[in-house]
Amino acid sequence: MDALILIGSLVVLLALGFPVAFAVGLSAFIGAWWIDLPLEAIVIQLTNGINKFSLLTIPFFILAGAIMAEGGIARRMVNFAYIFVGFIRGGLSLVNIVASTFFGAISGSSLADTASIGSVMIPQMEAQGYPRDFAAAVTASGSVQAVLTPPSHNSVIYSLATGGTVTISAMFMAGIFPGLMLGLCLVIMCIGFARKRNYPKGEMIPFRRAVKIFFDAFWGLFTIVIILGGILSGIFTAAESAAIACIWAFFVTMFIYREFRWRDLHLLLFRTIKTVTIVMVLIAFAAAFGSVMTFMQLPQIITDFFLSISENKYIILMCINIMLLIVGCLMDMAPLILILTPVLLPVTTSLGIDPVHFGMIMLVNLGIGLITPPVGTVLFVASAVSQQKMEAVVKAMLPFYCVLFIVLLIITYVPIISLWLPAVTGVYNGNG
């Protein structure tokens, strides 16, 4: 009954149209009142939830990504990607995906990736004879890479949701191979489509022009070096690398590329502060919600439920995947990570599944939810940027969903893809 009151109140509040953060917070207070938990204890959990140094990683990475997204970096990433794949048949669709790989490793956001790369690539693809809905589908599916690869904001949120069991550095390293594998699978599928539909080839970029494009894109690409190189070398922590990346992004955008106007800087900062505020309020309320779940012993109840279905971890992982795919279609990614991680992590650890590996499974599932109706935020952005109806974009997305499901199964049942790089780089030794 306790769990029904807590979860039921959350569902009702969401159905009534409450913002997700406030729905989570109010349901936490309702649950605490139901079990006679002092409300002062919930307030303490609210403050404890955001009183963490590692949380500084989020605003810095969000600001760095926002600055680079506004400063012409997307166009330069597209030009740089064209060097490698633009000359292949269907090259513009491949350029779209490869550019998303580079840009996602700078912004850490699928939304920013879709909006920035889409605004550059979708008109170009349409001009070369690609259907506009197909271009939107390529853009949206390629942006899922940003959920996995560093500096993914959602990797940071998962690390926080584990209560320190998994470090941000471990999640960053774990996401590199899954993200690249996702991009490679999408590239292979687009090559198949290009041959079947006879999409056009591009031209080979002359060497001298390629060198010029590289040096033009280098300043933006160096952000990736700062983030990964600083963490792996031990020079920076994840939070410190985020701060340095923010300073570098500002320097490159305002003094090297100089495509962003100083008079618009305060508007960018305002948008960033608004986004960060929403995230922080959500994290605070989710911490309170999680504490109420703990008092209700909900994680243990969920663990017992899954173990009653089967003791085979592969079957349970399949059940968890199905559940995450469903809820990922109904709610945004960050609140689901904060709410479900404390519930599902005990289930998976009891079966011997590594917490970092489970983090990748969760991110892929919920990343698919970002491009799936009815609440797929990235899908809405792709539809808006492409000026196509949602139904047309979803129809074009169907083969991409198949590829994403295959990638999900591989990542779920081949844990070494997620765990090898963190172990080799020494940022994670396994099992927390």
430 in a structural domain: no
With a CB cutoff of 8 Å and minimum separation 6, the contacts of 246 are 60, 61, 63, 64, 67
For residue range 213-268, list pLDDT tens digits in order: 999 999 888 888 888 888 777 788 888 888 888 898 889 888 888 888 888 888 88
Distance CA 17, CA 128 (A): 42
- Among 67, 64, 75, 144, CA closest to 104: 144
Question: Model confidence over 260-305: pLDDT tens digits?
Answer: 888 888 888 888 888 888 888 888 888 888 888 888 887 778 878 8
pLDDT at 193: 92
Q: Which residues of the chain have pLDDT under 70?
A: 430-432
| Type of residue numbered 20 | V
Closest CA to 88 of 218, 199, 171: 199
Contact status, residue 159 vs residue 54, Cβ threshold 8 Å: yes
Domain count, the chain: 1
> Residue 214 has what pLDDT?
92
403: amino acid identity, one letter: V
Residues 6+ away with beta carbon under 8 Å from 291: 28, 41, 42, 45
User: Smallest Cα–Cα separation from 403: which of 414, 392, 411, 393?
Assistant: 411
**367 within a domain of the structure (yes/no):** yes
pLDDT at 431: 58
Neighbour-count burial of 7, counting CB atoms closer than 10 A to its CB (0-12 exposed, 13-18 middle, 19+ buried): middle
Cis peptide upstream of residue 123 (ω within 30 degrees of 0): no
Q: Is residue 341 part of a domain?
A: yes
Cβ(412)–Cβ(313) below 8 Å: no
Among the listed residues 328, 320, 334, the one whose alpha carbon sits nearest the alpha carbon of residue 373: 328
pLDDT recorded at residue 135? 93
The answer to the question of residue 101 being in a domain is yes
Asked if residue 354 is part of any domain, the answer here is: yes
Q: For residue 120, what are its two tokens?
A: 């550059």
R_g (Cα) of the chain, nearest Å: 21
Cβ atoms < 10 Å from Cβ of 391:
11
Please report, for residues 152, 170, 279, 314, the alpha-carbon distance to residue 156 in angstroms, rounded to integers and kept in the order given: 7, 10, 12, 26
What pLDDT was estimated at residue 116?
86
The strand ranges marked E within 321-428 are none
| Amino acid making up residue 41 | A
Whether the CB-CB separation of 403 and 183 falls below 8 Å is answered with no
| 432 in a structural domain | no
Residue 431 lies in a domain: no
Q: How far apart are CA 285 and CA 338, in angstroms?
A: 10
Output the six-digit token pair for 333: 């990614």
Range(s) of the domain holding residue 230? 2-425
Distance, in Å, from the CA atom of 146 to the CA atom of 97, rounded to the nearest integer, reads: 11
CB contact at 8 A, 128 and 171: no
Residue 271 lies in a domain: yes
Nearest-angstrom CA–CA distance, 71 and 68: 5
